Structure 1
């Protein structure tokens, strides 16, 4: 049965800005069992997808300052569960190795993210895994598992063209670095890639998709794309990237998108209310008219940081940057309390993430 076209979960217009979420690993270390820690990680992943977050950073504040023993157990578990949940179900067996940290992950509710397409759904993009790369009739092509009854096929450049383009990309990447918005230099077996596919589900014989091929195997024609393309073209979230930051310096140094964050927001009960920022920044709306209701200046890379049970003060106290300041609010452009007049003495990290992202949805254009 041919997949049905999926038309939901599409934004009104594209945008190139990104929003990153950083969470302290101590929130997981505080869990009494692995099952509870895994459940907490699942709640963080669900929040990231619901609010279209582009990057999730795990700040490892569960190790002592100056530790060289690698990431803490809490940080490692959080990273693994976040990566496991972000991976489309049909690719997990191949891409996510079995590990004790994932023992309870199978019981978590699915993210149901836009890039987690069902077998009977179709979309202009799809995540695939390179199963095989072939050379035939002077042409090179790759067959990819896309979770359907037939593979996708990507025709690659001929040898001479490939070498020339590879040299151009090498020169560009040497200065710019790698980025999710850049096409992979080549396809190799076992690689996960984002594909652009036809608007309607239709298979063709392989020999029609690749000049020089002789096989009549049914394939879906596709071309290489990037994880940022759905966001940039249609405003649609397409999963999140995951990285580990062993210190605050590493957290702020560079985003997964190749450049620095130009908007940083810390969250704390000691911060100022979001409402107090309304109208302080002169900005333009989508039509180019002055907007007096803006909260933040225009940004390209936004970062929102959440502490663990003891707040960002605990993370700073265990970080080399504590020699710079004892006030974590001084590390951010904005230090916000997104739930003023709270009824409970404490707000858990997973609750703070949901409350804050809901409050920041309009200001950050999530």
Structure 2
């Protein structure tokens, strides 16, 4: 009676082993067939030689080494000096039917910013002329307050998603605008580092940990130990820290740097900045860059075709801006500008 279950178990194990062997054989045959079909390829000539590209490969499916190769051939550093910005009206979020959909739409916008490495997003008011002389006691003021709250919610959600997860509880309080922000998908950006990740730069917040006078401040950067910087700053201030030593020393030391240094020095995409503009013209006049945007692209269904317009664009630029219109188009935002 006791030997029968053992025999059944052995037979079952034998059948499973045979099934795994057949599965591996089928996978090998499928791989060989794909390799045989994919032998036909096209060649793309580059500066340093000939590069072979698979015929089924998408033009944007390039590796990190392929992206850095043109930079190395020019003899420059791997940093990126140019920036890409977009301007969107808050009416695209105001059109959502519920607060959940508004938060979800903001999450999709934030995800697109990270995927395409956008450095700045400008949220502008396309109803600037219509709401400039609104009486506070009229019914139009209620509509204006509703639109204003939608703009604030959009900015809050974008700021919350851009912030690394380990800093959110220090920088954001419980508020109505972030009621559904916790349900959104994470951006998984480069500066959203985990404890096990090793990087020269990290985002942190200044703590109220006591320190001797003239010894700087302690910054929490998501690790088990706080890093000591050379500057004395107020608590609860977010900053970018460049670590001097990532080894196993007892004390971590770093230097407070500009948030643009990881991009300009190491070529790392370090999140996006958010700016609010009261009108479409304020998008250009209040630019954070000294010379403004040297290349501006407006999107409209009445404009030129994208394929023909891209050929007319300059190959080099310092600060790119792409302006999107609202539900009524970019022309309506231009007409309602003050």
1:187 is displaced (CA, Å) by 2.1
Q: TM-score, normalised by structure 2?
A: 0.70
1:67 is displaced (CA, Å) by 5.0
SS across alignment from 2:219? strand
1:276 is displaced (CA, Å) by 1.2
Residue 254 and residue 143 in structure 1: after superposition, are their counterparts in 2 closer, same or farther (change >3 A)?
same
Deviations 1:23-63, CA, capped at 9 Å, x for gaps:
11110111011111111110110001111111111012256
SS across alignment from 2:299? strand
State the match for 1:37 in structure 2: 102
Residue 30 and residue 16 in structure 1: after superposition, are their counterparts in 2 closer, same or farther (change >3 A)?
same
* Residues 264 and 302 in structure 1, CA contact (< 8 A), matched pair in contact too: yes
Report matched runs for 1:163-312 at 5 Å: 187-198=233-244, 200-204=246-250, 219-280=251-312, 295-312=313-330
Q: Which runs of 4+ in 1 moved over 6 A?
A: 8-11, 68-71
1:313 is displaced (CA, Å) by 2.2
* Residues 54 and 239 in structure 1, CA contact (< 8 A), matched pair in contact too: yes
Task: Supply the distance in 1 between the matched residues of 2:169 and 2:161 (Cα, whole angstroms).
Answer: 12
Question: CA RMSD for the aligned pairs?
Answer: 2.3
Task: Supply the distance in 2 between the matched residues of 1:77 and 1:9 (Cα, whole angstroms).
Answer: 36
Q: Structure 2 stretches of 5 or more lacking a match?
A: 1-62, 69-77, 135-143
Of the candidates 6, 10, 16, which is equivalent to residue 81 of structure 2? 16
State the match for 2:199 in structure 1: 123
Residue 147 and residue 35 in structure 1: after superposition, are their counterparts in 2 closer, same or farther (change >3 A)?
same
* Residues 254 and 261 in structure 1, CA contact (< 8 A), matched pair in contact too: no
Deviations 1:336-358, CA, capped at 9 Å, x for gaps:
xxxxxxxxxxxxxxxxxxxxxxx
State the match for 2:332 in structure 1: 314
State the match for 1:148 in structure 2: 223
Structure ranking higher in strand proportion: 1
State the match for 2:12 in structure 1: none
* Residues 216 and 229 in structure 2, CA contact (< 8 A), matched pair in contact too: yes
* Residues 55 and 256 in structure 1, CA contact (< 8 A), matched pair in contact too: no
State the match for 1:81 in structure 2: 157
Deviations 1:96-128, CA, capped at 9 Å, x for gaps:
222211111110000111111012112110001
1:14 is displaced (CA, Å) by 1.2
1:249 is displaced (CA, Å) by 1.7
Aligned residues: 255
Structure ranking higher in helix proportion: 2
State the match for 2:42 in structure 1: none
* Residues 128 and 193 in structure 1, CA contact (< 8 A), matched pair in contact too: yes
Task: Supply the distance in 2 between the matched residues of 1:258 and 1:96 (Cα, whole angstroms).
Answer: 31
Structure whose CA Rg is larger: 2
1:308 is displaced (CA, Å) by 1.6
State the match for 1:66 in structure 2: 132
Higher relative contact order (CA 8 A, sep 6+): 1
Q: Structure 1 stretches of 5 or more lacking a match?
A: 1-7, 157-185, 205-218, 281-294, 321-366
SS across alignment from 1:118? coil
Task: Supply the distance in 2 between the matched residues of 1:273 and 1:199 (Cα, whole angstroms).
Answer: 51
